[in-house]
Amino acid sequence: MSISIPLQRSRVPVLADLIAARRDRATRIAWDIALVIGAAALVGALAQISIKLSFTPVPITGQTLGVLLAGTSLGLRRGAAALALYAVAGVAGVPWFAGHASGYTSQTIPSFGYIIGFFLAAALCGFLAERGADRSVLGSVPAMIAGEIVMYAVGVAWLAVDLHVSAGKAISLGFTPFVIGDAIKAAIAALLLPAAWKLAGRGRSGAGQE
């Protein structure tokens, strides 16, 4: 699969940068912390939109939408930090994995590869957003697809190892049942980001370098 994403060479602001613009350093740090915690909580809340399937240990959830939005709106460092917080806090006992699960247990281990994939996907989407990929639907769609490819690559590989099944079986358990729903979530995220920039009055022509 070839994905072409129109990118700028240097870093440009992401949506989260608008909040901290023209504020002192201490306030910017406080905002960054609040944004990271808020994004992790958003993913945790969307994880509770969960539908269990009888033939796979991986449930259908709303997490993917939260991951894509967190990465693209926060940028690489904050987006990655938000999903790292989501993973670490969930393992530590915060019940915000799918179905109010927490910890590294028999309930969460089979799908834990996706949680690792969330971190990598948020970082990738954040990096692409920092190169202007979130400013238009033309750039957002392939950026979201790239993020989802990362999620599934890690999640399906982990599932195959954990369940001791073939790659084909892991794909049928961890990819095929979810691809249509996640394509819809990627499309929603790809439409929301350019729309948010227009509402902020900071469209593509207003992108400035940091």
What per-residue confidence (pLDDT) applies to 6?
65
Question: Which of 26-30, 82-86, 141-145 shows the lowest per-residue confidence on average (mean pLDDT)?
Answer: 26-30
Please write the tens of the pLDDT for every residue from 40-53: 999 999 999 999 99
CA distance 93 to 193: 32
Percent of the chain with pLDDT over 70: 91
What per-residue confidence (pLDDT) applies to 201?
76
CA distance 120 to 79: 9
Taking a C-beta distance cutoff of 8 angstroms, is the pair 185, 68 a contact? yes
- Domain limits, the chain: 15-201
Q: Is the pLDDT of residue 31 over 60?
A: yes
Taking a C-beta distance cutoff of 8 angstroms, is the pair 193, 18 a contact? no
Contacting residues for 113 by C-beta, under 8 A, at least 6 apart: 154, 155, 156, 157, 158, 159, 162
Mean pLDDT of 5-12: 76
CA distance 169 to 177: 12
pTM of the model: 0.89
CA distance 103 to 82: 18
197 in helix, strand or coil?
helix
What CATH number is given for 15-201 in this structure? Answer: 1.10.1760.20
Percent of the chain with pLDDT over 90: 78
What per-residue confidence (pLDDT) applies to 28?
86
What per-residue confidence (pLDDT) applies to 206?
45
Half-sphere exposure of 153 (CA within 13 A, CB side): 9
Q: Is the pLDDT of residue 9 over 80?
A: no
